[in-house]
Amino acid sequence: MSGWIKIHRCITDHWIYTEKRSFSKFEAWLDILVTVNFADADVIIKGKIYKVKRGQSILSMDSWANRWNWNKSKVRRFFALLEKDKMIVVKSDNKTTQLTVCNYESYQEKRHTDETQKKRDRHATDTQPTPIKEEEEQKEQKEEKSKRFKKPTFEQLKEYKPNIDAQRFLDFYDSKGWMIGKNKMTDWKAAARNWESRNNNVPSQGKLPKATLDD
């Protein structure tokens, strides 16, 4: 398996990451990669200036243990394992622990120009609307409208269309599950206007006109 994924350091602020737990070895290694410095910096600890380079950290053993919910012995064993595999180098003094990620640049390697261009070309192609995508988007919009639909009250109907038999309208569409043909109704006002035009001057009692029953 090859290729890259981007993981921003702000992931460490996400609730998924900050969940209280004991880290796995993989999580601890990932935490090291996102915690070490991405640029050189000077840090003062107890009156002493430490020059912390890109790919380094001077967090103490206690700090790593607290981050991972481990004890210090487990942190030491883990660091020894990583050192044996030439993944890190650790130097300790009486104030802090200097950890250096080996080959840090390999985790931050910039993509080649041709790869970047391919990505841009692919992105440009992906953003071009296709008939299938447009169809899917229209379907999603209809479904969203359908979810938002709320049938009118008797009072709302009478206020909007005082000349129609509001109760008859409500009973009719209640019986149909507020469907128009095979589709869920999305606009009751439009349905009320159609009802009025189709049932103009039709008595409220008796059989509904065929045009209405075929809705």
**From CA 122, how far away is CA 160, in angstroms rounded?**
51
User: Does the predicted model carry a pTM greater than 0.85?
Assistant: no
Write out the two tokens for 146.
């359908």
**Among candidates 54, 62, 19, 13, which has minimal Cα distance to 36?**
54
Burial (CB < 10 A; 0-12, 13-18, 19+), residue 75, is buried
Instruction: Give, rounded to a whole angstrom, the gap between the first and last alpha carbons of the chain.
Output: 56
**From CA 22, how far away is CA 73, in angstroms rounded?**
14
Domain 9-104 has CATH 3.40.50.11540: no
Going by pLDDT thresholds of 50, 70 and 90, the confidence category of residue 212 is very low
Residue 1: the pLDDT is: 62
Residue 134: the pLDDT is: 60
| Helix%, strand%, coil% for the chain, nearest 5 | 50, 10, 35
* Higher pLDDT pick, 167 / 122: 167
Strands (E), 74-190: 88-92, 97-101, 179-180, 183-184
pLDDT in tens, 117-156: 555 556 555 544 445 556 666 666 666 655 678 889 998 8
pLDDT in tens, 53-102: 999 999 999 999 999 999 999 999 999 999 999 999 999 887 789 999 99
Find out whether 170 and 158 touch, Cβ atoms under 8 Å: no
Amino acid at 62: D
**Among candidates 74, 34, 30, which has minimal Cα distance to 57?**
34
Q: For CATH 1.10.10.10, list the domain ranges present in the chain.
A: 9-104
In Å, the largest CA–CA distance within the chain is: 97
- Angle separating helix axes 166-175 and 188-198, nearest 10 degrees: 110
Find out whether 51 and 98 touch, Cβ atoms under 8 Å: no
Write out the two tokens for 74.
């487990």
Measure Cα distances from 172 to 131, 149, 210 in Å: 37, 17, 13
Mean pLDDT taken over the chain: 81
β-strand partners of 51 = 42
Residue 58: the pLDDT is: 93
